[in-house]
Amino acid sequence: MSHTKNLLATLLLLLTISPAGAQIQRKELHDNWTFRQAFRGVNSYPATVPGVIHTDLMDNLIIEDPFFRMNERGVQWVDKEDWIYTTRFDLSSDMLSKDSIRLVFKGLDVYADVFINDSLVLQANNMFHEWIIPCKHLLRDTGNELRVYFHSPLKVDIPKFMALPFVYEAGNDQSRLGGVFHKQVSVFARKAPYHYGWDWGPRLVTMGIWRPVYLEAWNSGRIEDVWLRNRTVSARSATIDVDVELNMHTPQPATLRVLNAETGQVYATTTVSNTTTPTSLSFTIRNPRLWWTNGLGEQYLYPIKVVLESNGRVLDEQTKNFGVRSLRLVRDKDKDGTGTSFYFELNGHPVFMKGANYIPNDNFLPRVTRERYEAVVRQARDANMNMLRVWGGGVYEDDMFYEYCDKYGILVWQDFMFACSLYPADSAMLESIRREAVYNVKRLRSRPSMALWCGNNEINDAFFNWGWKTRHERRSPEGTAEFLWREYEAIFHELLPEVVNQYAPHTTYWPSSPLADWNTETQCYTQGCVHYWSVFHDREPIEAFAWQSRIPRFMSEFGFQSFPMFPSVKNYAPYERDWNITSDVMLAHQRHPRGNQLIRSFMERHYRVPEDFETFLYVSQVLQADAMRVGMEAHRRNMPYCMGSLYWQLNDCWPVASWSSVDFYGDWKALHHFARHIFEDVLVSPYEANDTLTVHVVSDRLQAFRANLTVQIMDFSGNVIFEQQQQISMPANTSRLMFTMPTEPMLRGQAREDVFVLVTLEERGQAPVTNVHYLMPQKDVNFPKATLQKTVEPTDGGYLLTLRSDKLARAVYLSIGEPGNFFADNFFDLIPNQPKAIRVRTALSQQEFEGRLRIMLLNDI
């Protein structure tokens, strides 16, 4: 009987707080939009909102797709024009009768005058936050007009550029391609810097209503913000603090209730006594289910609902999925005084950060769907990553991105949107930056995935070490360098840390990446975080990735370029005349001025350079993956001295030769397949230096384990030249040297170019962990002609493809001639006479699949 009473009480409670009782009404304003050119714009065309001007021009067949061949060059006129967007709408009498009505733009790109029924209500100047406009007094029941006039960012900002006696550094702004010569004006607009071009991206300076727009109406009161944060967390209990900001139209008695949205369990209740300051509550969860990063445990999220009630009515409610966890950045002095640690401690455990840098998924941001956001975060999860760095030259991402990071256990290193440039810091700009920072810090602060706020990308290092300071001391008016550094400090050492400290004091602020420490001029390898680019940009040997002098405490950026594979290239370069890396089309999709030259020079050092275009693309990916493997494994081997390896970069914003591991079409490059293996929770890492072969075992697990380690040297037919087995006891969460031996005695007279090293770790109940190592550069290895046998068996959703080779098959690439991650593994080494089964996801018939299946090997070059 008591059980029935409890059930009825829960049902009554859920009915009391149901969304149907809430008094907030919302009307999306996404329909019936048109746009026209402001100057002599006679004709109007249908527009899509959210959207940007370029996609609307494409939809109306006014411009061609800028991503196709060299079309980018032909659309540079678009950002020199002003554009007007207009829609009309009616309102219900119920909505119009509400006490409060406001217009909300979640994002305007960037300089926009907003008119409601011909009344100017807003002059927007920042892409990175929402705009809220009270407007009840301007609305009527029928025939309302909403008009947005977008000013050309170039026309607004060029006069600012011309008025200065010096030039703000903005080297990635491709102003010459944009037809404005040396006028690099991107720094004057609080707008995504990458829109002006980068060394992996096009110059497409967009304008538009790029995020949702809607009307909100209510009578009595509403919840403006809910901030959830972990005060104390242990396996036995967690204390959660809740701050709620309210907007009460009229004073009235009201109650705030905090509960579990799934179970109905009420955590805390309070009466509202003051609506001008946040109302604070706290509650305790016994034996909480903790939130862990990918690979360490479950990503449990508590559905916390906050309900505002008055006189038995629900006025408003918000629900947040909240992860119970403790997280801190640990920076302790080394015992010997030589450096300072830099690692993240989650739920009391140091965690090695495995991941990548993340850029926007498209130059036309409204095209990024929920499905695409989930896909890119899932690709990080599937590659065994646990952190993504949201780079500072893009945007503060959509809530959907962080939602999936919460879901899949991916921590976020979040840059503020400043990158590789110096920025003005006059009072108006500082106020705009402050509003931007407050909005985004508050928006993201309750998410378990939020790990760190970083002021900027590379500006501190650039000022002192890229020649900026010296150049301004020599060429600009006296005092300019000091003035620019003072502006830097005003933004990154004063304003932004103040915002984080006030609105998210539980999250660490770090001024710049790379950086050794606050108020230092450069990066270093004994403390802080490092960006290491000497291998690719400065032609240091690939082996330098593993030099002990190049191992930092935390690698927040390093990379190596490659091309997309041929099926992807054919999407933007479909004609045979384009199929050369020096064709005009391929050069248009290679934005690094020396990218092609660097790829070829490294390929000549390490590989046999193929003659044909398709095979060159393939070898470029093997080169990229092999190079990055050297760095990623070295970082993990040096755990816990080094506690992070975030490579540049995960994804692309358009089809291009770049440092990405997943191309614009979502196709995994060789690097992403390699990363999946290198970032597994247990890694075996063979490495040779000074004619000595070593093997480290690295474990991210929080428990110790025992396993059998086998080190073999084989010839390419699979004959064992050397073998040693040993039982190992692997401690939790660390790296251990488990094998070391001079190489020459192990070869037993065999030539280095005729053998390979195979290391296998076997643990009861677990799949074997393996790794392959070569003792010579790939161009000097005598890879034999390999004969592959294959069998295909139907399975749910595709096929099981089993391959067997009589000889070692190096970097086996499988394709069916179109972009897509059809194969569960790819670019792998096939050990002689050891079958490998690969799951294939495809809707092709078996006959079609087998007919289209292509296999490429490094052996055949």
Predicted confidence (pLDDT) per residue in 347-400, tens digit: 999 999 999 999 999 999 999 999 999 999 999 999 999 999 999 999 999 999
Looking at residue 98, its pLDDT comes to: 95
Confidence of residue 333 (pLDDT cuts 50, 70, 90): very high
Looking at residue 32, its pLDDT comes to: 98
Residues assigned a catalytic role: 458
Q: Following DSSP, what letter does each residue of 362-391 receive, concatenated?
A: -SSGGG--HHHHHHHHHHHHHTT--EEEE-
Looking at residue 568, its pLDDT comes to: 98
Domains 220-322 and 682-780 share a fold: yes
Looking at residue 40, its pLDDT comes to: 81
Confidence of residue 3 (pLDDT cuts 50, 70, 90): very low
Distance of CA 163 to the CA centre of its chain: 37
| Whether residue 523 has pLDDT greater than 80 | yes
Q: What is the mean pLDDT of the chain?
A: 95
Confidence of residue 234 (pLDDT cuts 50, 70, 90): very high
Looking at residue 522, its pLDDT comes to: 85
Over the stretch 822-832, which tens digit does the pLDDT of each residue have? 999 999 999 99
Written as six digits, the tokens of 611 are 């003659």
The ranges assigned to domains in the chain are: 25-214, 220-322, 335-678, 682-780, 788-860
Over the stretch 535-591, which tens digit does the pLDDT of each residue have? 999 999 999 999 999 999 999 999 999 999 999 999 999 999 999 999 999 999 999
Give the C-alpha separation, 822 to 817, whole Å.
Answer: 11
CA dist list (Å): 92 to 25, 87, 105, 141, 215? 11, 17, 21, 6, 12
CATH 2.60.120.260 corresponds to the domain 25-214: yes
Looking at residue 172, its pLDDT comes to: 97
Q: What pairs with residue 413 in β-bridges?
A: 389, 452
Q: Note whether 849 and 825 are within 8 A (CB).
A: no
Looking at residue 750, its pLDDT comes to: 97
Q: Note whether 615 and 603 are within 8 A (CB).
A: no
CATH topology of domain 335-678: TIM Barrel (3.20.20)
Confidence of residue 4 (pLDDT cuts 50, 70, 90): very low
CB atoms within 10 A of CB 785: 10
Is the peptide bond between 523 and the residue preceding it cis, with omega within 30 degrees of 0? no
Looking at residue 22, its pLDDT comes to: 60
- Choosing among 2.30.30.190, 2.60.40.10, 3.40.640.10, 1.10.3720.10, the CATH entry for 220-322 is 2.60.40.10
Over the stretch 594-610, which tens digit does the pLDDT of each residue have? 999 999 999 999 999 99
Looking at residue 274, its pLDDT comes to: 66
Looking at residue 12, its pLDDT comes to: 35
- Percentage of the chain exceeding pLDDT 70: 97
| Whether residue 788 has pLDDT greater than 50 | yes
Q: What is the CATH number of domain 682-780?
A: 2.60.40.10
| Whether residue 18 has pLDDT greater than 90 | no
CATH 2.60.40.10 corresponds to the domain 788-860: yes
Over the stretch 38-71, which tens digit does the pLDDT of each residue have? 998 789 999 999 999 999 999 999 999 999 999 9
Give the C-alpha separation, 86 to 675, whole Å.
Answer: 48
- Mean pLDDT calculated for residue range 407-424: 98
- Mean pLDDT calculated for residue range 198-202: 98
| Whether residue 676 has pLDDT greater than 90 | yes
| Whether residue 702 has pLDDT greater than 60 | yes
Give the C-alpha separation, 857 to 618, whole Å.
Answer: 9
Nearest to 53 by CA among 212, 158, 179, 204: 204
Give the C-alpha separation, 54 to 36, whole Å.
Answer: 12
Q: Following DSSP, what letter does each residue of 492-517 receive, concatenated?
A: IIIIHHHHHHHH-TTSEEES-BSBSS
